[in-house]
A = this chain, B = another copy of it.
Amino acid sequence: MTVNILDVSLRDGSHSVRHAFTADQVREAAKGMNAAGVRYFEVSHGDGLGGSSLQYGLSATDELKLIEAAAGECTTSEVAVLLIPGIGTKGDLQAAVKAGAKMVRVATHVTEADVAAQHIQLGRELGLKTAGFLMMSHMASVEEIVKQASLFESYGAEIVYVTDSAGAMLPKDVTERICALKQTLQCEIGFHAHNNLSMAMANTVAAVEAGATFIDGSLRALGAGAGNTQTEVMVAVLEKMGYETGIDLYELIDTANNVIAPIMQQPQEITGGSLILGHSGVYSSFLLHAQKAAKQFGVHERDILKQIGKLKAVGGQEDLIYEVAQDLAR
């Protein structure tokens, strides 16, 4: 059996390096992943195309330059981009295609697939491999996810992803969601994990066993929160289980160790903060904001995150983190 691996080091990892990737770094990583046989890898601001902003964090290098640098190294790999409607625009997608993108994943909060209709249609019109990406999937029931995924499919998505943005799921949560989608949808199913509960690998394997054919990983697990499923480890595990990935494990380990590891600003460990993300079901990209707010207001990051979890805040509500910190300080 074959599984398609999409590496997100150069997109989800953007959070972890505070959006400071350089064109040279991206070029080297792209070169390594292309040589290793990684079919798709994503290059964008951590919050998708157009994410560079005061609210989400400014990119050190224009993401179009990064996409161009990556695409220039691809002989067999293809560059994907993430697009969150409301952050990125249709114009941003057209520009990304000019820079060399061949795939788009249109991401919405798990209950808001309907805002993606035009963007998914545009992806298809531009000839891109086009996917829908349901963020914070732990917050919706299985029925709701099926409903939202069906909307994506009706707009033309070729793949629908269950996305565990908070790293809050356990394998049984993944299995029931992917199985329900397999039963209802005709398109392919994907899965994206975070490791806040140390379950990213097990959740990814559960997704594959339930029928997912597209799975995400990142080298050295570089990503928001506690990071993602570690791509090179995932390849070893899938090999051990008898799946075909088409990837050269040693080439990938070399890219992880020689290109990604030196870029990392901190090791991708599960610290108290990232653990509370998974435990409370909070969006992984909120972690560094909570750490900043904790310092600014002299309160504990985990108290902020626990409160944010209770408020069920979703992507786009980054300002709330600072309000909560201010309240806690009073």
How far apart are A322's CB and chain B's nearest CB, in angstroms? 23
Complex alpha-carbon distance, A270 and B268, angstroms: 10
Contact of A233 among B170, B236, B275 (CB under 8 A): B275
The answer to whether A275 and B302 touch across the interface, beta carbons within 8 angstroms, is no
A2 close to B (CB within 8 Å): no
Given contacts A201-B199, A220-B269, contact A253 B275 (CB under 8 A): yes
Interface residue count on the A side (C-beta < 8 Å): 39
The answer to whether B200 and A198 touch across the interface, beta carbons within 8 angstroms, is yes
Residue on B with the closest CB to A266? B267
Complex alpha-carbon distance, A148 and B142, angstroms: 44
Contact of A257 among B257, B261, B272 (CB under 8 A): B272
How far apart are A246's CB and chain B's nearest CB, in angstroms? 17
Complex alpha-carbon distance, A268 and B250, angstroms: 21
Complex alpha-carbon distance, A234 and B199, angstroms: 10
How far apart are A217's CB and chain B's nearest CB, in angstroms? 10
**Residue interface bits A15-32, CB-to-B below 8 A is 1, else 0:** 000000000000000000
Q: With a CB–CB cut-off of 8 A, which chain B residues contact A236?
A: 197, 275, 278-279
Residue of A220, A237, A268 most packed against chain B (CB within 10 A) = A237
A240 close to B (CB within 8 Å): yes
Q: With a CB–CB cut-off of 8 A, which chain B residues contact A250?
A: 302
A58 close to B (CB within 8 Å): no
Residue of A220, A239, A240 most packed against chain B (CB within 10 A) = A240
A271 close to B (CB within 8 Å): yes
CB within 8 Å of B: which of A11-60? none
How far apart are A134's CB and chain B's nearest CB, in angstroms? 21
The answer to whether A198 and B197 touch across the interface, beta carbons within 8 angstroms, is no
- 3 smallest CB-CB distances across A and B, nearest first, come from A202-B202, A267-B267, A198-B201
